[in-house]
Amino acid sequence: MSTRLGELVERLGGQLVGNPDIEVSSIAPLDVANASNITFLSNPKFRTKAAQTAAAALILSPADDEVIGASYPGARIVTANPYAYFARAAQYFEQRKRVRPAPGTHATASVDPTAQIASTAIIGPHVTIEADVVIADGVQIDAGCVIGRGARIGANTRLYPRVVFLDACEIGENGIIYPGAVIGSDGFGLANDGGVWVKIPQTGRVMIGNDVQIGANTTVDRGALVDTVIGDGVKLDNQIQIGHNCRVGDHTAMAGCVGVGGSSIIGKHCTLGGAVGVAGHLTITDNVHITAASNVSRSINEPGHYAGSYPLAKHEDWQKTAAVTRNLDSLRERVRELEKTIKTLTKEEPS
């Protein structure tokens, strides 16, 4: 199932330098690529390697092309962002190979008669679809998923096996939800009454935009009185927890194990590294980037890179630094005392 370079460029753009009739069948890294592969150069430090690759074709930037274009014997696709081009080319090859079940509802699925399911949708084994669900064209719902009453799944979105997507929640087009994710579980809303917790019903929904990706076993809670909102193009990795009433801005990405407390608002184009924690009721502006394992306990109003995690050390060294950390306040006091004494001493000195 090979593809002509000419066809690839027609679909994905870029400037082809070389024979459009050369055929490639997949993508491979610079050093393992062979004559049936296309490869890519996204980091200038690999220019020498790229010039020597055995691939039939090379995706590279104009700047890299100027330096090594002449010395590479194969075909070149010149494009501003070779890494993104690689991603799109890989998608193209992958979609051609993908085995997609035939449209229709598996015999073992349990579907409420009031659900509206597009004829082009695929509903897998042991799926449960409750009343008034709306499933658009090209949707794929894999084995064991449960779609709650009145939920809506937009065109070409795929739910991997065992996703739970609860009542009245919605996701837009071209989304992907990975196995075990739970969308629309109740938020953690409780009132304390003399030491006993009283549950606050969670009557909001989860509203998810287009082109959103939600990782395996990630959970996004429904809102209490308002909706939890996940913007267009948001990418959430595995094991993430998003609390009720949160709003995550368009094209923000979060790595695995992030936790976001309830009612926090995160801007657009942010990135949160793995296991970052965000307390509840905070606002993080657009274009904020937070290093893995940091804890955000105040709002962030200025774009930029933030971090905060205790440095790793040999266990015995950490024990010493932790002991000092525990008494940092007194260490500061001692420095203050020293400063005062020195001030007195230096004043006493004759000039």
Residues 2-41 close enough to bind a copy of itself by CB under 8 A: 27-29
Q: Which is nearer to a copy of itself, 20 or 342 (CB)?
A: 342
Cβ-contact 158, 135 below 8 angstroms: no
Q: Which of 7, 31, 137, 339 binds a copy of itself (CB under 8 A)?
A: 339
Q: Give the list of residues 6+ apart from residue 293 with CB closer than 8 angstroms, or none.
A: 273, 274, 275, 276, 309
- What is the crossing angle of helices 328-348 and 315-326, to 10°? 70
For residue 283, state whether it binds a copy of itself (rule: CB under 8 A).
no
Q: Which of 178, 210, 245, 249 binds a copy of itself (CB under 8 A)?
A: 178
For residue 331, state whether it binds a copy of itself (rule: CB under 8 A).
yes
Active site residue 289: no
| CA distance linking residue 232 with residue 248, whole number of Å | 9
For residue 54, state whether it binds a copy of itself (rule: CB under 8 A).
no
Residues 107-126 binding a copy of itself (CB under 8 A) are: 108, 110, 124-126
C-alpha separations of 224 from 169, 186, 200, 231, 258 in Å: 13, 8, 8, 19, 21
Could you tell me the smallest distance in angstroms from the CB atom of residue 159 to a copy of itself?
12
Of the candidate spans 2-10, 48-56, 64-72, 78-86, the one that interacts with a copy of itself by CB under 8 A turns out to be 78-86
Site string for a copy of itself, 131-170 (x = CB under 8 A): x----------xxx-x--x----------xxx-x-x----
Closest CA to 276 of 289, 295, 261, 303: 295
Question: Alpha carbon 319 to chain centroid distance?
Answer: 36
Q: Which is nearer to a copy of itself, 19 or 270 (CB)?
A: 270
Q: Which of 84, 118, 134, 155 binds a copy of itself (CB under 8 A)?
A: 84
Of the candidate spans 15-23, 52-60, 70-78, 79-87, the one that interacts with a copy of itself by CB under 8 A turns out to be 79-87
Could you tell me the smallest distance in angstroms from the CB atom of residue 100 to a copy of itself?
11
| CA distance linking residue 214 with residue 144, whole number of Å | 17
Residue 16 — φ and ψ, nearest 5°? Answer: -85, 125
CB-side neighbour CA atoms (13 Å) of 153 = 36
Residues in the chain: 351
Cβ-contact 240, 278 below 8 angstroms: no
For residue 203, state whether it binds a copy of itself (rule: CB under 8 A).
yes
Choosing from 244, 251, 269, 315, the catalytic residue is 244
Enzyme catalytic residues: 244
